[in-house]
């Protein structure tokens, strides 16, 4: 019974629409009506700027971390990665935002931040390096996902391998339109250092 409550709570935590809240309360803007229409950090950066983008990204990461910590907070014998996965599902399909949410990247990172901080730090570094090289947030996210699978295989931690593979599958699925735009060379680029030429 308590396990079920924790799983539902994890989903509800993941369902908190950070981008929608920051956009409406801080700027009077529904970011679903602008840019890609996505509630995640990337669209928030593009529509509302760096400050809002960082706040939303941090909040989305925190959702995954908090949800993954629930078994420890409540003293329940259930694997934290399982619980964290439901937060990611909530982030992608939030009950509080018409089941239209983000692309699973930040919240998945939050899940791994709690379970394997070293993996999270190396993921963040690799993502930033790839972003500097490719200028594509979507491509950098997917390639970083592949790195997490390789890393998990070396740990021989079966739950980690399974959950990471599932989370990366989520990320690729949610980026399917981005993949098409990358192939068509119409995917927007970001320029961290300096302005776009």
Structure confidence by residue, pLDDT tens digits, 26-71: 999 999 898 888 888 889 988 999 999 999 999 999 999 999 999 9
pLDDT confidence of 112, banded at 50, 70, 90? very high
* CA-to-CA dists, residue 33 to 14, 44, 45, 53, angstroms: 21, 11, 14, 16
What does the alpha-carbon distance between residue 168 and residue 173 come to, in Å, rounded to a whole number? 9
pLDDT confidence of 192, banded at 50, 70, 90? low
Domain ranges of the chain: 2-184
What does the alpha-carbon distance between residue 30 and residue 162 come to, in Å, rounded to a whole number? 36
For CA atoms 30, 34, 37, 43, give the dihedral sign.
negative
What does the alpha-carbon distance between residue 8 and residue 12 come to, in Å, rounded to a whole number? 6
Give first-to-last CA distance, the chain, whole Å: 57
What is the average pLDDT value for the chain, to the nearest integer? Answer: 93
């Amino acid at each position: 019974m308590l396990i079920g409550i924790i799983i539902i709570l994890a989903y509800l935590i993941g369902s908190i629409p950070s981008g929608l809240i920051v956009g409406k309360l801080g700027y009077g803007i529904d970011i679903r009506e602008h840019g890609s229409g996505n509630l995640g950090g990337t669209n928030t950066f593009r529509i509302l700027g760096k400050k809002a983008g960082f706040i939303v990204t941090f909040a989305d990461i925190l959702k995954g971390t908090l949800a993954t910590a629930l078994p420890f907070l409540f003293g329940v014998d259930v694997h934290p990665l399982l619980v964290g996965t439901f937060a990611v599902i909530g982030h992608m399909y939030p009950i509080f935002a018409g089941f239209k949410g983000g692309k699973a990247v930040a919240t998945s990172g939050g899940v791994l931040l709690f379970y394997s901080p070293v993996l999270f730090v190396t993921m963040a570094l690799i993502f930033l390096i790839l972003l500097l090289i490719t200028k594509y947030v979507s491509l950098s996210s997917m390639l970083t996902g592949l790195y997490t699978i390789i890393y998990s295989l070396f740990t021989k931690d079966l739950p980690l391998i399974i959950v990471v593979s599932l989370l990366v599958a989520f990320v690729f699925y949610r980026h399917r339109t981005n993949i098409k735009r990358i192939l068509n060379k119409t995917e927007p680029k970001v320029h961290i250092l300096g302005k776009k030429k």
